[in-house]
Structure 1
Amino acid sequence: MLRCQIVPVTAFAQNCSIVWDDDSMDAVLIDAGGEPEKLQQAVRDLGVNVKALWITHGHLDHIGAVGTLAKAYAVPVIGPQKEDQFWVDSLQDVCRNYGFPVPEPVHIDQWLEGGEILKLGNYAFEVRYTPGHTPGHVVFYCKQMNILWTGDVLFKGSIGRTDFPRGDFDTLIDSIKTQLFTLPDDTQFISGHGAISSIGQEKQFNPFVSGKAG
Structure 2
Amino acid sequence: MLHCQIVAVTAFSQNCSILWDDETMQAVLIDAGGEAERLQQMITDLGVTVIALWNTHGHLDHIGAVGALAKTYNVPVIGPNQQDSFWIDMLQDVSRQYGFPIPEPVQVDQWLAGGEILSLGKYRFEVRFTPGHTPGHVVFYCAELNMLWTGDVLFKGSIGRTDFPKGDFDTLIHSIQTQLLTLPDETQFISGHGATSSIGLEKQFNPFLKGI
Q: Quickly name the TM-score band, shorter chain normalised.
A: over 0.9
What TM-score do the two structures reach when normalised by structure 2?
A: 0.99
* CA-CA distance at 1:210 after TM superposition: 2.8
What is the CA deviation profile of residues 108-156 of structure 1, one whole-angstrom value per residue up to 9, with x for unaligned ones? 0000000000000010000000000000000000011010000000000
Report the Cα distance in structure 2 between the residues aligned to 1:205 and 1:211, rounded to whole angstroms: 11
Report the Cα distance in structure 1 between the residues aligned to 2:44 and 2:31, rounded to whole angstroms: 18
Report the Cα distance in structure 1 between the residues aligned to 2:189 and 2:42, rounded to whole angstroms: 21
1:154 aligns with: 154
Aligned residue identity for 2:151: G
- What SS is found at the alignment partner of 1:43? helix
What is the CA deviation profile of residues 163-192 of structure 1, one whole-angstrom value per residue up to 9, with x for unaligned ones? 000000000000000000000000000000
Report the Cα distance in structure 1 between the residues aligned to 2:45 and 2:201, rounded to whole angstroms: 33
Question: Root-mean-square deviation (CA), in Å?
Answer: 0.5
2:140 aligns with: 140
1:209 aligns with: 209
Given that residues 130 and 137 in structure 1 are in contact (C-alpha distance below 8 angstroms), is that contact kept between their aligned partners in structure 2?
A: yes
* CA-CA distance at 1:211 after TM superposition: 2.9
Aligned residue identity for 2:114: G
- What SS is found at the alignment partner of 2:209? coil
1:58 aligns with: 58
1:107 aligns with: 107
2:3 aligns with: 3
Query: 1:82 and 2:82 equivalent?
Result: yes
Query: 1:171 and 2:145 equivalent?
Result: no
Report the Cα distance in structure 1 between the residues aligned to 2:105 and 2:119, rounded to whole angstroms: 26
1:119 aligns with: 119
- What SS is found at the alignment partner of 2:52? strand
Report the Cα distance in structure 1 between the residues aligned to 2:40 and 2:171, rounded to whole angstroms: 36
Unaligned runs of 5+ in 1: none
Report the Cα distance in structure 2 between the residues aligned to 1:53 and 1:185, rounded to whole angstroms: 28
Report the Cα distance in structure 1 between the residues aligned to 2:167 and 2:135, rounded to whole angstroms: 6
- What SS is found at the alignment partner of 1:95? helix
Aligned residue identity for 1:2: L
2:190 aligns with: 190
Report the Cα distance in structure 1 between the residues aligned to 2:138 and 2:120, rounded to whole angstroms: 17
2:23 aligns with: 23
Unaligned runs of 5+ in 2: none
Report the Cα distance in structure 2 between the residues aligned to 1:209 and 1:98, rounded to whole angstroms: 31
Report the Cα distance in structure 2 between the residues aligned to 1:42 and 1:172, rounded to whole angstroms: 34
Report the Cα distance in structure 2 between the residues aligned to 1:15 and 1:210, rounded to whole angstroms: 26
* CA-CA distance at 1:45 after TM superposition: 1.1
- What SS is found at the alignment partner of 2:39? helix
Report the Cα distance in structure 2 between the residues aligned to 1:181 and 1:38, rounded to whole angstroms: 35
Alignment of 1:12-51 (within 5 A): 12-51=12-51
1:131 aligns with: 131
Given that residues 203 and 211 in structure 1 are in contact (C-alpha distance below 8 angstroms), is that contact kept between their aligned partners in structure 2?
A: no
- What SS is found at the alignment partner of 1:144? helix
Given that residues 202 and 210 in structure 1 are in contact (C-alpha distance below 8 angstroms), is that contact kept between their aligned partners in structure 2?
A: no
